Amino acid sequence: MQNIITFPKLGLEFKVSRAAFEIGDFPIFTYGLLITLGLIIAVIYGYKQCKVNSLDTDDFFNMLILAIPVSIICARAYYVIFSWNQYRNDILSIFDIRSGGLAIYGGVIGAAAVVIIYCRKKKINIGVVLDMLAVGLLIGQAIGRWGNFVNGEAFGTVTDLPWAMTIESDGRITAENVHPTFLYESIWNALGIIVLLVYKRHTLFNGELFCGYMAWYGLGRMFIEGLRSDSLYLFGTVRVSQMLAVLTFAVGIGVIIIRRRRMLKATQAENGKGECG
């Protein structure tokens, strides 16, 4: 269960084990540990933001307890739906998530749905909680993408760039001189954390930071997805995640522009009334 990942033109070689350790005969995969690490850091960030945003910590953890399983189910469902030929003859394999097959977009949709439904029922400001979720998602995604590195997956097409990557899995070359798209996305998400934390000081409405997340992640993903060699396709020609990335970017930017324009017009109208009075 070992991968040898090299960057030939840079003279770098990494030997990584997909299994971090074993409990008896049960392997604990490094990918899962990295996902868990990202989740823990994101939870710590969210917990500290509860006081800042006057959110009851009980509500925070209730949402978390509900969101984690729903996110996993949605991430798996997203992948299975667009890879149906892989599972149609072995339905039980759908439940074997340890063999891979989770799509981040499905997980994000699931988490956002839980937050929205819970906040509506508890009459909590949805925008405030979504803004907290935005930074947490990027934290988890930036760290989680390194799980793809360990697994030797989520790589791109062939390239002659200096940082081209070659993967040898269990003695067999599975990719040679390809884009390390996992790295592109991890770096993009890490930069996004900084961008959102700076942008946070300049937001004008609740939910704007989450819209910023949608725009930032969508912008990066639409280009990175175009380089990947393992994309999920709709009708055999349209890259599903790339299409969704374009939509995510457009909605995020669109909502920010529309809401800010409305607020500006409202402020100008108020100022005009004041002058007349």
Task: Output b/e per residue, 174-200; b: 16+ Cβ within 10 A.
Answer: ebebbbbbbbbbbebbbebbeebeebe
Rounded to two decimals, the pTM is 0.88
pLDDT tens digit sequence for 79-127: 888 888 888 888 888 887 776 678 888 998 999 999 999 999 999 999 9
Percent of the chain with pLDDT over 70: 97
Residue 160 contacts residue 240 (beta carbons within 8 Å): no
Residue 55 contacts residue 124 (beta carbons within 8 Å): yes
pLDDT at 35 over 60: yes
CA 17/CA 112 separation, integer angstroms: 33
Average pLDDT, the chain: 91
213 or 29: which leads in pLDDT: 213
Please, which residues bridge with residue 175 across strands? 167
